Structure 1
Amino acid sequence: MPSDELYSRNKLIDYVDIRPIDIEICDVTLRDGEQTPGVAFTKEEKMDLATELDNIGIEVIEAGFPVVSSSEKETVKSISNMGLNAKICCLSRSITTDVDAALDCDVDIVSVFIAMSDLHLRYKYHKSCHDVVACAMHTIEYAKDHGLKVRFAAEDATRTDVALLQKVFKEAEKYNVEYVSIADTIGILNPSTTYYLVSKIKETVKTDVCIHCHDDLGLATANTLAAAEAGAKQLHTTVNGIGERAGNAALEELLVALRVQYGLERYDTTGLNRLSRKLENYSGLTTPVNKAIVGKNAFTHESGIHVMAILEEPRTYELFSPEMVGGERNLIVGKHTGMKALKGIIKDMGCNLEHDELCALIDRIKSCTEVKRGISRSRLKEIILELKEHEGQQ
């Protein structure tokens, strides 16, 4: 299928003068994704996932949090030394010993974070904002003096006073940090407030802005796109949207949305389904069947009207082709399947049935207990053979 037929571009975007100009993806599956309750990747699994992310074209991979354990530190170092095209990042509290751990891991970027919201200052740190910020700036200076690129991240930024965020980000800019990062730690943003907040930060700082969205309201991907439209450069994701609580912005959703909505085609999306299946296997987390892009039902059709149109031209009921994301189309026979659709499916399977045979087949299907969950093509072939055998015995 030609490239221009792999998906239907959102032409309405031509009437809206807001679109991402200069972006990069930082995938945080190996760190934030692993903070999903019950999930722990082995070193080999992390290295395999990192390879897949690199093959897709992800620019930055956050490999872990080295001070968590000696094995985590070893894993982060192993990923740093794999020779990937992606830059490798790791997390660091505002403590110089965390930066030392990052240096031992040979990472390219260290993400130094603090929280400045009233809630976190009062109940987590039990310190003043002045003291917390001073620790952060000291740690940033230490990291820069040791040759690391630095991302300064404000945890719970979306419940922090905007003027304070602007002030502290401006202070971090004096230390020549490469990024300032807005973390929507509890997923409180919506696209409008995301756009506003990123715009306000960009009014104050010239440093590249990152956005890190959680999915507590199911808005993480939408908010990440809004941030990109407002000028955020680095967009954070996880595979299958895994992460703490409701998870993070899903990598597969973001990459396909960037392609369909804005025509950004530099990422190899054909590996998304393979990566999703690996993530399922390594994490033990089952992907919902209706999950966008990589769910089992993403390219599954049962309704007779839909099936007939799909057989004629797939783009009638598919925004993008399954091939574009390494998926497969699945036409299901079920209670909503009519005679014309069934005939089309049978023909597509390479079978030819007479009218009487089709009538007998659809009667069998409608009365079949399996119809509640849909009948696969392999099962449909079995039913056809059973009917033919029955006819032959008469």
Structure 2
Amino acid sequence: MFAQVRSAAGEDVVLASHLHNDLGLAPANTLQALSAGVRVVASSWLGIAERAGMVATEQLLFLLARHPDRSLDGEATPWWTAPDLTRLPGTARMVAAVTGVPLSVTTPIVGTGVGTISTGTPFVHPEFFQPFDPHGVLGIEPHVLLTQLASARVVTAVAARLGHTLDGDQVRAAMSWAKARAFRTGRAVIEDAAFADYLDGLTRATSSTS
């Protein structure tokens, strides 16, 4: 559609797009519009708008800053000064606080799940696990979460963060405890406080029998 309009309107006409996300395609369609020569695009922080919202400003900025060659036709550039992507998470949190629209664990780019690790793959091959480095690109510090999916590496890392060094038997015991607690409580993420209490008992019991 954008290519047809561009062809019919001619190069002297500045085209704009204003796309909503009813089918979940607002980001893809906005990028397609840019690649077809559209030079003004409407967006909103966190995608806030009527119905299913619009293309989210933070997502659009991120995609254009990271991969302009995939989104723009020819030698076009989207700005005179490239955005500082490390400011996206803070701005999104501010918008969420003012509007009351929460950031979810699955919100792309700025959600609470960005930078979290709950399986062992990121420890071994982070490039296979995530499409970009959240710390290097967005300034988001990685945070290891203990869940029912916890591997030995995850258990060891969370225990170390809480001040405990575990041996092999302790790691296996902690893994079993984590899986059992997650299923018993119906919550995937295990709170640090609960795990710290368990580790205190585990390490005391081990030291008393040694």
Q: TM-score range by the shorter chain?
A: 0.7 to 0.9
Q: CA RMSD in A?
A: 2.7
Q: Specify the SS of the correspondent of 1:276.
A: helix
Q: Which amino acid aligns with 1:290?
A: T
Greater displacement, 376-385 / 251-260 = 376-385
The unaligned stretches of length 5 or more in structure 2 are 70-76
Greater displacement, 320-329 / 259-268 = 259-268
1:364 and 2:177 correspond = yes
Q: Which amino acid aligns with 1:255?
A: L
C-alpha distance in 2, partners of 1:283/1:340?
A: 39
> Which residue number corresponds to residue 64 of structure 2?
258
TM-score by length of 2: 0.78
C-alpha distance in 1, partners of 2:123/2:42?
A: 37
How far off is 1:371 after superposition? 7.0
Query: Residues 144 and 157 of structure 2 are in contact (CA less than 8 Å); yes or no, is this contact kept in structure 1?
Result: no
C-alpha distance in 1, partners of 2:126/2:161?
A: 13
1:387 and 2:202 correspond = yes
1:375 and 2:187 correspond = no
Cα distance per residue 1:311-358 (max 9 Å; x no partner): 234322111122222433232222222334433554576642112222
> Which residue number corresponds to residue 197 of structure 1?
2
C-alpha distance in 1, partners of 2:4/2:159?
A: 55
1:282 corresponds to which of 90, 95, 98: 98
> Which residue number corresponds to residue 73 of structure 2?
none
Cα distance per residue 1:1-24 (max 9 Å; x no partner): xxxxxxxxxxxxxxxxxxxxxxxx
Bigger CA radius of gyration: 1
2:111 corresponds to which of 295, 308, 331: 295
The unaligned stretches of length 5 or more in structure 1 are 1-195
1:241 corresponds to which of 20, 29, 47: 47
C-alpha distance in 1, partners of 2:130/2:56?
A: 20
Relative to structure 1, the CA distance from residue 349 to residue 262 in structure 2 (aligned partners, 3 Å threshold; closer, same or farther) is farther
TM-score by length of 1: 0.44
Q: Specify the SS of the correspondent of 2:16.
A: strand
- Give the number of aligned pairs: 195
Q: Which has the higher strand share?
A: 1
Query: Percent identity between the aligned chains?
Result: 24
**Equivalent residues in 2 for 1:24-39, closer than 5 Å:** none
**Equivalent residues in 2 for 1:13-92, closer than 5 Å:** none
> Which residue number corresponds to residue 268 of structure 1?
84
Query: Residues 216 and 246 of structure 1 are in contact (CA less than 8 Å); yes or no, is this contact kept in structure 2?
Result: yes
> Which residue number corresponds to residue 312 of structure 1?
124
Cα distance per residue 1:250-307 (max 9 Å; x no partner): 011112222333367911111111111111111111233211111112333323xxx2
Tell me which of the two structures has the higher relative contact order, counting C-alpha pairs closer than 8 angstroms and 6 or more residues apart: 1
